[in-house]
Amino acid sequence: MDSILVTGNGPLNGQIPIAGAKNACLTLMPATLLSEEPLTLTNAPRLSDIKTMTALLQSLGAEVSALQDGQVIAMSSHDLTSQTADYDIVRKMRASNLVLGPLLARFGQAVVSLPGGCAIGARPMDLHVEGLEALGAEIELKDGYLHAKAPGGLKGAVHEMRFASVGATENIVMAATLAKGTTVLKNAAREPEIVDLVECLRKMGAQISGEGTSTIEIQGVDCLHGATHQVVTDRIELGTYMLAPAICGGEVELLGGRMSLVSSFVEKLEAAGVSVSETEKGLKVARKNGRVRAVDVVTEPFPGFPTDLQAQMMALMCTAEGTSVLEERIFENRFMHAPELTRMGAQIEVHGGTATVTGVEQLKGAPVMATDLRASVSLILAGLAAEGETTVSRVYHLDRGYEHVVRKLEGVGAKIERIKGE
C-alpha cells in the first residue's frame, strides 16, 4: 500500500485547479439508467470511486467509456442486461445505492445490496426505502439485498423525509422523473450536487422545480432523452485546498472555486482570521500574520458547515490560538482522525459527537494512518504545517476522492511525495 511523505516547508503560494465534484458525478452517472439515449458528462474527476461506479453500471449492461483521460464519461443504457447491484461492488462504495431509484423507475424492478456500514457510520437506507415506497414501490429486505418492484410503474406522491438525506433525495428525485403524476418531496437535501443533478435531469427532459430548496416538485414524464452535462466544481476538494494556505500561511488561488459553494465554510475561515476573496478565476485564500484563531464548528446539512470538511477543519484548529469545539451531527463516528492528529502533538478530547481542540504552537511530524477519505487529507494538511516529516499510510482512501494531490500541492510549494508500497 502506498503512503505519502509530507515535510513541513513553510508558506504556500500559487494556484490549485479544482476538479469536478465526486459526489455530483456519483449521482449523475446512475442517471444514465433513466434513458435509453446516451448521457455524456464533462469535467468528470479522475477518481477510484468513479471507476467503481463505472464497473457497477457496466455490470448492469450499460456502456460506459472514459474519454480524454477520464475527464469525459460517455454512457449508454440502451441495452441493459441486469437490474441487480451486487454486494461485492456496493460494499466498496455506498453511492452504488443510487442505481435503485433509476432502475425502479425505468424497469419497475431492482435488486440492490445494502451497502453495509463503513468507517464513519452504520449508514442505513431507511429514508431511501420510505421515499420510494411513497411512490408506490414494494421493497423487501432479503439476504442483505433490497428487492424493489413497481409492477404498475411508480406514482407521484407528496412525501416528507424525516431527515434531509442527500442520497435519499437523489434516489427519490430520479425515480419521480418517470412516475405517473406529480411528486412533492419535502425536507429535501439542498446540496449543490443535488442542484447539479436536477440541472442534468432537466436537460434530459425532466420537469423539476425547487432544487436547492427544501421542497422539490417533479412532474413525471413518459421518457427522458440523452444529454451532455458538465459536472459542477467539487466544493469539498475546494474547501480542503483552501485550508492549505490557512494552515501553512501564504496565498493560494483555487481555480474554478465559487463562494456560493462554500459560504458557511468561508464564514468560519474568515472568523479564524483567514482572508478569502473572489477573483475572475476562482477564490484566493491568504493568511499572512501568524496563527489563526480558534472557532467552533457544528456540521449540518447544506447550507450549514459540511460534514465532509470537518476533519480538515479540525487539522486547522489543532494549530489555532485558543480552544475550539467541533460538533459532528451528521455521522456517528467521524472523529477517527483525532487520535492520529494527537500523535502529531495535537490536543483533542473527544466525547461522543463532540471534539474539543486546544490549539498548539507547533505540530510535530509523525507516522500516521488514514482511516477514511476525508481523514486522510486532514492528516496531509497537518503534515504540511508540522515540523519535520509525516508519513500518511493507507492512501488508497485518498485516491477515492482526490485526484493528483501530490502534484497539486507540489505546485504551490509543498514538500510532498508518494512512496510506492509493496
- Residue number closest to ligand EPZ, CB atom: 167
CB closer to ligand EPZ, 121 vs 421: 121
Position 26 contacts ligand EPZ (CB under 6 A): yes
| Interacting span for ligand EPZ (CB under 6 A) from 20-28, 77-85, 134-142, 355-363 | 20-28
Judge contact between 197 and 171, C-beta under 8 A: no
Q: How far is the CB of 166 from ligand EPZ (least distance, A)?
A: 4
Report how far residue 270's alpha carbon sits from residue 287's, in angstroms, rounded to the nearest whole number: 10
CB closer to ligand EPZ, 10 vs 124: 124
Q: Is 318 a catalytic residue?
A: no
- Footprint (CB under 6 A) of ligand EPZ, residues 142-161: none
Q: How far is the CB of 400 from ligand EPZ (least distance, A)?
A: 8
Report how far residue 306's alpha carbon sits from residue 289's, in angstroms, rounded to the nearest whole number: 27
Q: How far is the CB of 387 from ligand EPZ (least distance, A)?
A: 29
**What is the DSSP secondary structure assignment for residue 301, as one 8-state letter?**
S
Q: How far is the CB of 414 from ligand EPZ (least distance, A)?
A: 22
How big is the site for ligand EPZ, counted in residues (CB under 6 A)?
25
- The amino acid that residue 143 corresponds to is D
Q: How far is the CB of 71 from ligand EPZ (least distance, A)?
A: 19
Position 163 contacts ligand EPZ (CB under 6 A): yes
Report how far residue 382's alpha carbon sits from residue 342's, in angstroms, rounded to the nearest whole number: 11
Judge contact between 357 and 346, C-beta under 8 A: yes
Q: Is 289 exposed, middle or buried (0-12, 13-18, 19+ CB in 10 A)?
A: exposed
Report how far residue 116's alpha carbon sits from residue 122's, in angstroms, rounded to the nearest whole number: 7
If DSSP codes are grouped into helix, strand and coil, which group holds residue 73? strand
Judge contact between 219 and 179, C-beta under 8 A: no
CB closer to ligand EPZ, 113 vs 165: 165
Position 337 contacts ligand EPZ (CB under 6 A): no
- Footprint (CB under 6 A) of ligand EPZ, residues 78-137: 94-95, 121-128
CB closer to ligand EPZ, 37 vs 160: 160
CB closer to ligand EPZ, 53 vs 227: 53
Q: How far is the CB of 256 from ligand EPZ (least distance, A)?
A: 18
CB closer to ligand EPZ, 308 vs 403: 308
| Interacting span for ligand EPZ (CB under 6 A) from 22-30, 76-84, 104-112, 263-271 | 22-30
CB closer to ligand EPZ, 95 vs 346: 95
- Footprint (CB under 6 A) of ligand EPZ, residues 260-319: 307-308
Q: Is 162 exposed, middle or buried (0-12, 13-18, 19+ CB in 10 A)?
A: exposed
Report how far residue 15's alpha carbon sits from residue 413's, in angstroms, rounded to the nearest whole number: 10
CB under 8 Å to 333, separation ≥6 — which residues?
Answer: 119, 120, 121
Position 23 contacts ligand EPZ (CB under 6 A): yes
Q: Contacting ligand EPZ (CB under 6 A), which of 238, 330, 341, 412?
A: 330
- Marked catalytic residue, from 25, 118, 223, 318: 118
Query: Cα-Cα-Cα-Cα dihedral of 76, 81, 85, 89, to 10°?
Result: -70
Report how far residue 328's alpha carbon sits from residue 334's, in angstroms, rounded to the nearest whole number: 7
Length of the chain, please?
422
- Compute the C-alpha angle 46/18/91, nearest 5°: 40
Position 53 contacts ligand EPZ (CB under 6 A): no
Q: How far is the CB of 189 from ligand EPZ (least distance, A)?
A: 6
Report the sign of the C-alpha dihedral through residues 59, 27, 187, 374, in that order.
Answer: positive
If DSSP codes are grouped into helix, strand and coil, which group holds residue 247? helix
The β-bridge relationship of strands 367-369 and 354-358 is unpaired
- Footprint (CB under 6 A) of ligand EPZ, residues 367-406: 373-374, 401
Position 10 contacts ligand EPZ (CB under 6 A): no
| Interacting span for ligand EPZ (CB under 6 A) from 21-29, 178-186, 289-297, 348-356 | 21-29
CB closer to ligand EPZ, 404 vs 415: 404
Report how far residue 16's alpha carbon sits from residue 262's, in angstroms, rounded to the nearest whole number: 16
Point out which residues bind ligand EPZ (CB under 6 A). 22-23, 26, 94-95, 121-128, 163, 165-168, 307-308, 330-331, 373-374, 401
Hey, which residues are catalytic here?
A: 118
